[in-house]
């Protein structure tokens, strides 16, 4: 049995990571058998190397080796590609065609991205795994094939099973032995080694001096996330080799080829509203507050009239709707919420007044005279006291006279500690 180091040299695998070495060891061990193998790992980690190792070290090495990208074949034609079809089986089937399982009889089929297979095709594949039988599209004749299946996927198979996108029985038939390849970011010691190998290969390919990284650039190379794994690292090495005239690569130059440099940083989510949205809401609120200001002025006027006229019921009835509007629970709730949104000073803060200018814009005017607010407070308190005294403490009657709800009156009584 060949050693891991010999296999890596033979198949051009670079790296000394323990997980990578263990994956190669498992490949060597399962090669003499015919059991199915499932290779897992992120896209770009080099999963296609494992089935090649398994095929070349098996007794099938003289048979055909066919690699099929299941995700690249349209759903409507994948059954025909894998299992073949009879003449006239569908529109365009002008002649009988042999599928990959028939052609690869006695060899190995590598099903890359097997997680993308349609459910109907998964049923057909399960039958091949169980007894080596398949039926061509448009035929009723059962055919036999002797192939070894090595599959690979970058999706989480258990999530796919839970979402009913992949058959659980097929998964367990494919993954008799599972071989996992680690992501490049987990192979820190191999990153620079791989980059140097790629840089050397491209220097020979394009007949130019080999690029070399400065120390700071090497540090940046190791810190980068490499979401595209080995495939992305190879592309970056090729771009730099071709585009850069200077062969000594600095960290500033390297960063130009790492578009997602900030990918590792915590994401900052902007939950604040845009300036235009905030301005529009503020204009609306200014209008509401200005109208409320006018209502408060009317209330003060009403209060003075009530005090001057005593129990004049006509005055009370004429202004009942106004008081109801001022003290309604709904208005208070809306204004309170809007003031919180815009952080407008409330009770205990600096006094604020809304005025209207000649252009119908509303502005805050600070430093309003304290006596005006206090005067309104006192008049309101006095009005409630008189109403309660007049009705001998009966809140329902007092609330009806004031034109407010009993609940609002009760809150005012607690507020003024009556």
Q: CA torsion sign, 210 to 258 to 72 to 112?
A: positive
Q: Is the pLDDT confidence value at 267 over 80? A: no
What's the pLDDT band for 365 if we cut at 50, 70, 90? very low
Q: How far is CA 305 from the centre of its chain?
A: 63
Query: What is the pLDDT, as a whole number, of residue 378?
Result: 75
Report how far residue 298's alpha carbon sits from residue 289's, in angstroms, rounded to the nearest whole number: 14
- Chain-wide mean pLDDT for the chain? 82
CATH 1.10.8.60 boundaries in the chain:
185-264
Other CB atoms within 10 A of residue 363 CB: 11
Query: What is the pLDDT, as a whole number, of residue 293?
Result: 73
So what's the architecture of 4-182 in CATH? 3-Layer(aba) Sandwich (3.40)
pLDDT (tens digit, 9 = 90+) per residue, 87-139? 988 888 889 999 999 999 999 999 999 999 999 999 999 999 999 999 999 99
Residue 261: half-sphere exposure toward Cβ, Cα within 13 Å: 13
Query: What is the pLDDT, as a whole number, of residue 392?
Result: 81
Report how far residue 87's alpha carbon sits from residue 64's, in angstroms, rounded to the nearest whole number: 25
CATH 3.40.50.300 boundaries in the chain:
4-182
Whether 83 and 141 have beta carbons less than 8 Å apart is answered as no
What's the pLDDT band for 403 if we cut at 50, 70, 90? confident
Query: What is the pLDDT, as a whole number, of residue 312?
Result: 53
DSSP 69-122: EGGGS-TTTHHHHHHEE-TTSSTT--S-EE-HHHHTTTSEEEEETGGG--HHHH
324-357 as b/e: b if 16+ CB within 10 A: ebbbeeeeeeebeebbeeeebeeeeeeeebbeee
Query: What is the pLDDT, as a whole number, of residue 279?
Result: 59
Report how far residue 15's alpha carbon sits from residue 91's, in angstroms, rounded to the nearest whole number: 50
As to burial, measured by CB atoms within 10 angstroms (0-12 exposed, 13-18 middle, 19+ buried), residue 35 is: exposed
Other CB atoms within 10 A of residue 148 CB: 24
Report how far residue 90's alpha carbon sits from residue 82's, in angstroms, rounded to the nearest whole number: 16
Whether 31 and 58 have beta carbons less than 8 Å apart is answered as yes
Q: Is the pLDDT confidence value at 16 over 80? A: yes
Higher confidence at residue 297 or residue 145?
145
pLDDT (tens digit, 9 = 90+) per residue, 19-59? 999 999 999 999 999 999 999 999 999 999 999 999 999 99
Contacts of 76 (CB under 8 A, 6+ apart): none
Q: Is the pLDDT confidence value at 369 over 60? A: no
Report how far residue 282's alpha carbon sits from residue 285's, in angstroms, rounded to the nearest whole number: 5
Q: Is the pLDDT confidence value at 72 over 90? A: yes
Fold of the domain built from segment(s) 185-264: Helicase, Ruva Protein; domain 3 (1.10.8)
Query: What is the pLDDT, as a whole number, of residue 323?
Result: 54
pLDDT average, residue stretch 196-214 = 96
Q: Which residue has the tokens 């004049």?
A: 312
pLDDT (tens digit, 9 = 90+) per residue, 293-336? 777 777 777 777 776 665 555 555 555 555 555 555 445 554 45
């Amino acid at each position: 049995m060949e050693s891991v180091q010999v296999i890596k040299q033979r198949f051009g695998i670079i790296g000394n990571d323990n997980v990578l070495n263990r994956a190669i060891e498992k490949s060597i061990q399962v090669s003499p058998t015919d059991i199915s193998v499932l290779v897992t790992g992120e896209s770009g980690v080099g999963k296609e190397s494992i089935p090649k190792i398994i095929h070349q070290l098996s007794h099938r090495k003289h048979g055909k080796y066919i690699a099929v990208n299941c995700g690249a074949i349209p759903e409507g034609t994948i059954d025909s590609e894998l299992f073949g079809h009879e003449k006239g089986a569908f529109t365009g089937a002008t002649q009988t065609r042999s599928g990959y399982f028939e052609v690869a009889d006695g060899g190995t089929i590598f099903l890359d991205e097997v997680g993308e297979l349609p459910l109907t095709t998964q049923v057909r594949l399960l039958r091949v795994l169980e007894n080596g039988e398949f039926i061509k599209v448009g035929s009723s004749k059962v055919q036999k094939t002797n192939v070894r299946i090595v599959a690979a996927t970058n999706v989480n198979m258990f999530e796919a099973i839970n979402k009913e996108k992949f058959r659980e029985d097929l998964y367990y038939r494919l993954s008799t032995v599972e071989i996992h390849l680690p992501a490049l970011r987990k192979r820190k010691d191999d990153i620079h080694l791989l980059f140097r190998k790629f840089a050397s290969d491209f220097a020979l390919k394009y007949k130019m001096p080999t690029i070399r990284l400065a120390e700071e650039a090497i540090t940046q190379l190791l810190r980068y996330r490499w979401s595209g794994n080995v495939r992305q690292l190879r592309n970056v090495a090729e771009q730099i080799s071709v585009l850069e005239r200077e062969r000594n690569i600095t960290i500033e130059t390297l960063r130009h080829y790492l578009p997602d440099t900030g990918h590792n940083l915590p994401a900052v989510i902007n939950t604040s509203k845009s300036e235009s949205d905030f301005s529009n809401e503020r204009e609306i609120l200014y209008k509401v507050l200005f109208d409320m200001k006018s209502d408060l002025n009317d209330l003060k006027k009403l209060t003075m009239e009530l005090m001057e006229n005593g129990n004049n019921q006509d005055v009370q009835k004429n202004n009942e709707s106004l008081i109801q509007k001022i003290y309604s629970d709904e208005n208070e709730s809306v204004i309170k919420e809007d003031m919180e949104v815009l952080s407008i000073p409330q009770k205990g803060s600096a006094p604020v007044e809304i005025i209207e200018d000649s252009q119908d814009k509303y502005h805050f005017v600070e430093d309003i005279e304290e006596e005006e607010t206090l005067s309104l407070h006192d008049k309101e308190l006095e009005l409630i006291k008189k109403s309660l005294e007049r009705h001998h403490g009966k809140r329902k009657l007092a609330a009806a006279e004031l034109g407010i709800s009993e609940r609002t009156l009760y809150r005012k009584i607690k507020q003024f500690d009556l």
